[in-house]
């Protein structure tokens, strides 16, 4: 196993002014690979920033350890770790030019003027800011300021770049552009990026692997496709993408094909190597797996349209499939197409392929 950066059984407690205790990290273990783009993804308060701060050395774990290539970093000050952090608010020096912002760390390190200028140029080129060196931060857009912050970190040639929601202040279009550029940049510089975000689309688009966190624990660690296609629990299924979740009892199983019966008597079919008759389980169907026209081998679910939402390229149909449970179906919008068919209150039959349905444990909450 690649043991580049290891977080071992890390726990972090905070004492609040109200006299309580918050467990920000609860026995977290994580092995981060050399040169990977790893995202820490989770809702507000799940502990992702705390984990990033502890890796950076701005905070310490209460218990557990952090090892870089097998050596503990416990007690190593932040500025002595071969890491650099890019913050959400850029934190540029407003009175310094772009070049001087980028070169600041090299000046402090006493690097010769000639080398410093070469490295600043190289870093500005890496982030697409060639020719911007003489500007002041206020003469740049938000996206350009974030590029300066990136260049300032990269110029120091860290082994790990820690990024704390660096794109969250940008508008949607600029975010999408920066997502692609950031991933390309990571490929070019070939170092490990640890990227904190609460935005699942961002994490899916950029990461080699994602660690999904909730309540100070890692819920799932895996490649974006694995996390999306095979969420391990209800939290991950709901947090990463949209899920239609059906809970019930497994009534029969033949080979890998099982039938689950929900409380309202609905029967759903899925395939799984796990689970046996009598077990409680949940079946997850993603919106893109629910179709309005079936094919051979598909299974039906009856429902009533409660809402149809036009989102440009497609319609999102909200379908009541019983007991108030709403399924979301995405239907590609066609000009002058099936408008009448989607009228609120109309009856629809949805179809899905059992192979597309994912089955998870029914953990008691
Ligand atoms: P966000 O996306 O909102 O930044 P997060 O996932 O990064 O959230 P953390 O900042 O790591 O979450 O916080 C984890 C938990 O620890 C939260 O419940 C938070 O209130 C608490 N916490 C963080 N810092 C402190 C502190 N200095 N003192 C007390 N509690 C803290």
Q: pLDDT (tens digit, 9 = 90+) per residue, 187-246?
A: 999 999 999 999 999 999 999 999 999 999 999 999 999 999 999 999 999 999 989 999
Q: In the predicted model, what is the mean pLDDT of residues 114-118?
A: 96
pLDDT tier at 313, thresholds 50, 70, 90: confident
The pick from 14, 167, 202, 214 for probing ligand 1's pocket by mutation, whose C-beta has the most ligand atoms within 8 angstroms, reads: 14
Name the residue at shortest CA distance from atom 28 of ligand 1.
14
The bridge status of strand 21-32 relative to strand 37-41 is unpaired
Q: Which residues of 117-135 are buried (b: 16+ CB within 10 A; e: fewer)?
A: eebbbebbebbebeebbeb
Q: Give the C-alpha separation, 267 to 257, whole Å.
A: 13
Which pLDDT does position 365 carry in this prediction?
A: 47
pLDDT tens column, 6-25: 999 999 999 999 899 999 99
For ligand 1, pick from 25, 46, 215 the residue to mutate: most ligand atoms within 8 Å of CB: 46
Tell me the C-alpha to C-alpha distance, in Å, between residue 222 and each of 27, 191, 226, 243: 18, 19, 6, 18
Q: Examine the pLDDT at 30 and tell me if it is beyond 60.
A: yes
Going by CA atoms, what residue is nearest to atom 17 of ligand 1?
45
The residue contributing the CA closest to ligand 1 atom 20 is: 45
pLDDT score, position 61: 96
Q: pTM of the entire structure? A: 0.91
- DSSP letter (8 states) at residue 213: E
Average pLDDT over residues 28-52: 96
What pLDDT was estimated at residue 336?
59
DSSP states along 219-270: EEEE-HHHHHHS-SSHHHHHHSS--EEEEEEEEEEETTEEEEEETTS-EEEE
Domain ranges in the chain are 242-364
Q: State pLDDT tens for residues 81-99.
A: 999 999 888 789 999 999 9
Q: What is the pLDDT of residue 254?
A: 95
Residue located via tokens 């949209």:
242
CA 42 to ligand 1 center in whole angstroms:
12
Classify the C-alpha dihedral 111-113-117-120 as positive or negative.
Answer: positive
CA distances from 126 to 187, 324, 327 (A): 11, 52, 45
Distance 199 CA to ligand 1 centre (A): 17
Distance 171 CA to ligand 1 centre (A): 25
Report d(CA 166, CA 187) in Å as an integer.
18
326: pLDDT confidence band, cut at 50, 70 and 90? confident
Query: Atom 18, ligand 1: which residue's CA is nearest?
Result: 45
Higher pLDDT, 119 or 143: 119
- 286 — phi, psi (to 5°)? -75, 150
> Could you identify the atom of ligand 1 that is nearest to the CA of residue 49?
7
Is 322 exposed, middle or buried (CB count within 10 Å of its CB: 0-12, 13-18, 19+)? middle
| 169-179 mean pLDDT | 88
Helix (H) or strand (E) holding 23: strand 21-32
Alpha helices in 135-171 (DSSP H): 142-154
Q: Considering the domain delimited by 242-364, tell me its CATH architecture.
A: Beta Barrel (2.40)
The token duo for 41 is 């993804």
Ligand 1 shell residues, CB under 6 Å: 14, 16, 22, 24, 42, 44-50, 198
Q: Summarize pLDDT for 241-268 with one digit per residue, the tens.
A: 989 999 999 999 999 999 999 988 889 9
- How many A from CA of 47 to the centre of ligand 1? 6
Show contacts of 100-107: CB within 8 Å, 24+ apart: 101/137, 101/148, 101/152, 102/133, 102/148, 102/151, 102/152, 102/155, 103/155, 104/152, 105/152, 105/155, 105/156, 106/155, 106/156
Provide the mean pLDDT of the chain. 92
- CA–CA separation, 82 and 88 (whole Å): 20
């Amino acid at each position: 196993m690649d043991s580049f950066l290891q977080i071992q059984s890390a726990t972090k407690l905070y004492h609040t002014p109200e006299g309580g205790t918050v467990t920000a990290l609860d026995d977290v273990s994580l092995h981060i690979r050399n040169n990977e783009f790893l995202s820490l993804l989770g809702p507000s308060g799940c502990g992702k920033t705390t984990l990033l701060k502890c890796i950076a050395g701005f905070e310490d774990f209460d218990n557990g350890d952090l090892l870089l290539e097998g050596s503990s970093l416990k007690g190593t000050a932040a500025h002595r770790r071969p890491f650099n952090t890019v913050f959400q608010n850029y934190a540029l020096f407003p009175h310094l030019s772009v070049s001087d912002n980028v070169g600041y760390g090299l000046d402090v390190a006493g690097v010769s003027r000639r080398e410093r200028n070469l490295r600043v140029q190289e870093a500005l080129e890496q982030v697409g800011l060639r020719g911007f060196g003489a500007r002041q931060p206020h003469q740049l857009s938000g996206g350009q300021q974030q590029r300066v912050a990136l260049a300032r970190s990269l110029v120091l040639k860290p082994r790990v770049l820690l990024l704390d929601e660096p794109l969250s202040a940008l508008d949607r279009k600029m975010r999408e552009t920066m997502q692609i550029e950031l991933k390309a940049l990571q490929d070019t510089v070939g170092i490990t990026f640890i990227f904190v975000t609460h935005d699942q689309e961002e994490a899916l688009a950029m990461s080699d692997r994602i660690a999904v966190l909730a309540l100070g624990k890692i819920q799932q660690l895996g490649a974006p496709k694995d996390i999306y296609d095979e969420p391990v629990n209800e939290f991950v299924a709901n947090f990463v993408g949209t899920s239609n979740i059906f809970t019930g009892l497994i009534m029969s199983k033949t080979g890998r094909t099982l039938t689950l019966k929900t409380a309202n008597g609905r029967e759903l079919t899925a395939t799984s190597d796990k689970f046996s008759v009598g077990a409680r389980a949940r079946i997850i169907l993603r919106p893109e797996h629910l179709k309005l026209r079936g094919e051979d081998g598909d299974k039906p679910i009856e429902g009533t349209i409660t809402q149809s939402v036009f989102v440009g390229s497609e319609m999102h149909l909200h379908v009541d499939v019983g007991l108030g449970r709403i399924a979301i179906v995405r239907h590609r919008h066609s000009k002058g197409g099936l408008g009448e068919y989607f009228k609120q209150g109309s009856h629809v039959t949805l179809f899905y392929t059992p192979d597309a349905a994912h089955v998870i444990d029914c953990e008691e909450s």
